[in-house]
Amino acid sequence: MKLQMIGCSHHDAAVEFREKISFTSDQVSKALNAFRQRFPTSEIVLISTCNRVELYTTAGDNSELDRNGVAEFLADQHKLNADEVVDQMIYRAGSEAVEHLFTVAASLDSMVVGEAQILSQVKQAYDIACNSGSAGPLTHSVFQAANRAAKRVQQETSIHRRRVSVPSVAVGEVATEVFDTLHNKRVVLCGAGEMGGETLRYLKQAGASDICIINRSRDRAVALANTFSAESALWDDLQEQVVGADLLIGTTSATEPILDKATFLPLHGKRKNRLLLILDLAVPRDFEPSIGELSNVYLYGIDDLQSACDRNRRERQKEWPKAKQVISEETQRLMQAFHHKATGPVIQRLREHAQDLKNDELERLINKLHLEDLDPSAQKEIEKSFDRLINKLLHPPLASLRDDAAELSLIHI
pLDDT tens readout for residues 63-72:
667 888 899 9
Q: What are phi and psi of 253, to 5 degrees?
A: -110, 25
Options 2.40.50.140, 3.30.70.360, 3.30.460.30, 3.40.50.800; which CATH number does 2-162 get? 3.30.460.30
Question: Which letter does DSSP use for residue 283 in this model?
Answer: S
Kind and range of the H or E run holding 400: helix 376-407
Continuous H helices in 257-301 = 261-270
What is the pLDDT tens value at each position of the chain, 413 positions in all? Answer: 789 999 999 888 888 898 889 998 889 999 999 999 999 889 999 999 878 999 999 876 556 678 888 999 999 999 999 888 888 899 999 899 999 999 999 988 877 677 777 898 999 999 999 999 999 999 999 999 999 999 999 899 887 766 667 888 889 888 988 998 999 999 999 999 989 999 999 999 899 999 999 999 999 999 999 999 999 999 999 999 999 999 999 999 999 999 999 999 999 999 999 999 999 999 889 999 999 999 999 999 888 887 777 777 777 778 889 999 999 999 999 988 877 665 656 666 777 777 878 788 777 887 777 776 677 787 788 888 888 887 887 777 766 665 555 554 444 44
Residue 400 CB contacts under 8 Å (≥ 6 apart), including other chains: none
Residue 115 near residue 150 (C-beta atoms within 8 A): no
Where along the chain do the CATH 3.30.460.30 domains lie?
2-162
Strands (E), 281-364: 297-300
Residue 250 near residue 302 (C-beta atoms within 8 A): no
Where along the chain do the CATH 3.40.50.720 domains lie?
166-307
Does residue 130 carry a catalytic annotation?
Answer: no
Angle formed at CA 218 by CA 216 and CA 224, multiple of 5 degrees:
105
Fold type of domain 166-307: Rossmann fold (3.40.50)
What are 165's strand-pairing partners?
A: none
Alpha carbon distances (Å) from 69 to 12, 66, 72, 125, 172:
21, 5, 5, 21, 45
Strand order across the 297-300 sheet: 231-233, 210-214, 186-190, 247-250, 276-280, 297-300
Q: Which one of 50, 130, 190, 309 is the catalytic residue?
A: 50
Q: What are phi and psi of 89, to 5 degrees?
A: -115, 140
Give residue 66's pLDDT: 82
For the segment 87-123, what is each residue's pLDDT rounded down to a tens digit? 889 999 989 999 999 999 998 887 767 777 789 899 9
What CA–CA distance (Å, rounded) separates 381 from 325? Answer: 45
